[in-house]
Amino acid sequence: MGSTYRAVEVSTPGVLRVVERPISKPAAGQVRLRVEACGVCHSDLATVQGDYPGLKLPRVPGHEVVGRIEEIGPNVSKWKIGQRVGVGFLGGQDGECEPCLRGDFANCLNPVISGITTDGGYAEVMIAEARALASIPDELTSADAAPLLCAGITTFNALRNAGLRAGDLVGIQGIGGLGHLGVQFARRMGFRIVAINNGPEKSDLAKKLGAHFYVDAAAEDVAAALQRMGGAKAILATAPSGKAIAALVPALAVCGKLIVVGVAPDAIEVSSPSLVFGQRSIYGSLTGSAIDTQDTLAFSVLQEVRPMIETLPLDKAPEAFARMMDGKARFRMVLVMKNGAEVSAV
């Protein structure tokens, strides 16, 4: 093992460049990973543009990271060298704020955020907090597991925590990086699924993934279509458009829930009567803790949920990021390293 590793960092906003960095030792409570795969997520934009509040450059993006532990810092007893693990967006919590004291680690007020407050996985090596790790099941390749650490847990947690019952009508808005996983999870959870997307192009794919119905939002009124089916008990909004998300409220059934996981640049404008009459609600759902990640991975193996991915080597990170931002990825870009990422676990 050499004394340096390659990483793709942002030192100037908007520019991703490959650099050599010295390998450092993990501190107490940390491990050093030899990265095998890292997903490219739309949330990486905050790092690449350099506009996340308090972000300090240079910074290595990436929060869908799978690798093998190659060194363990002091006070780490659960994990072993050579173990294949993953770390997502929530890279650790302070354990002292009120949400943490109530066990709500995902809403920690002072979180460690992979690729934002600490260097992430666009690299051959990464330092990670041991408390944030999840074990990667043998049934998943590293490249397949990576998107499940953010896109996977985001959609899985949002659906399983929504208080729904088997047979409920559930809409999945946007059949992309998040939505194509949302459809799969929703189907395996026993819901009746309506896939909602602009244009007819993804109709066959949505039904192949598990949707029972498909609504082309560009050709028909989504609210009218879903109300003919009785109204949706929940709609998972994954497309980053406030205007499109707002248009989903009338599609909800009485006491229906609009769960927002797609971060939109524009406001979600909703009339109060549409919420008050019918007791409908809108709320956001973030990622989850390490145990939630473990649950997501286990469920994905049990129910054969897999992301649709395209892979590129680390030095093609700028190309992978651009492809994701241009909406050309089908559906998650994953950077793979020369550490065995394309091979299943031993």
Q: What is the pLDDT of residues 110-127, one digit of tens each?
A: 999 999 999 999 999 999
* pLDDT tens-digit series, residues 248-260: 999 999 999 999 9
Considering the domain 162-284 in this protein, what is its CATH number?
3.40.50.720
Query: Can you read off the two tokens belonging to residue 205?
Result: 């794919």
Residue 342 pLDDT greater than 70, yes or no: no
Distance CA 13, CA 180 (A): 30
Residue 224 pLDDT greater than 70, yes or no: yes
Query: What CATH fold (topology level) applies to the domain 4-150+288-336?
Result: Quinone Oxidoreductase; Chain A, domain 1 (3.90.180)
**For all residues of the chain together, what is the average pLDDT?**
96
Q: Dihedral sign, CA of 123, 86, 141, 239? A: negative
Say if residue 89 is preceded by a cis peptide, omega within 30 of 0. no
* pLDDT tens-digit series, residues 4-50: 999 999 999 999 999 999 999 999 999 999 999 999 999 999 999 99
Residue 343: its pLDDT value, please? 38
Distance CA 242, CA 265 (A): 7
Per residue, the 3-state secondary structure of 87-121, as one string, reads: ECCEEECCCCCHHHHCCCHHHCCCCEEECCCECCC
Secondary structure of residue 269 in the 3-state scheme: coil
Residue 341 pLDDT greater than 50, yes or no: no
Closest by CA to 196, choosing from 225, 233, 163, is 225
- Is this structure's pTM higher than 0.85? yes
Question: So where are the chain's domains?
Answer: 4-150+288-336, 162-284
Once rounded to an integer, what is the mean pLDDT over residues 75-91?
Answer: 98
pLDDT band at 204 (very low <50, low <70, confident <90, very high): very high
155 close to 236: Cβ distance less than 8 angstroms: yes
pLDDT band at 338 (very low <50, low <70, confident <90, very high): confident
Once rounded to an integer, what is the mean pLDDT over residues 70-82?
Answer: 97
52 vs 43, 122, 174, CA distance in Å? 10, 18, 25
The residue with tokens 């729904």 is 164
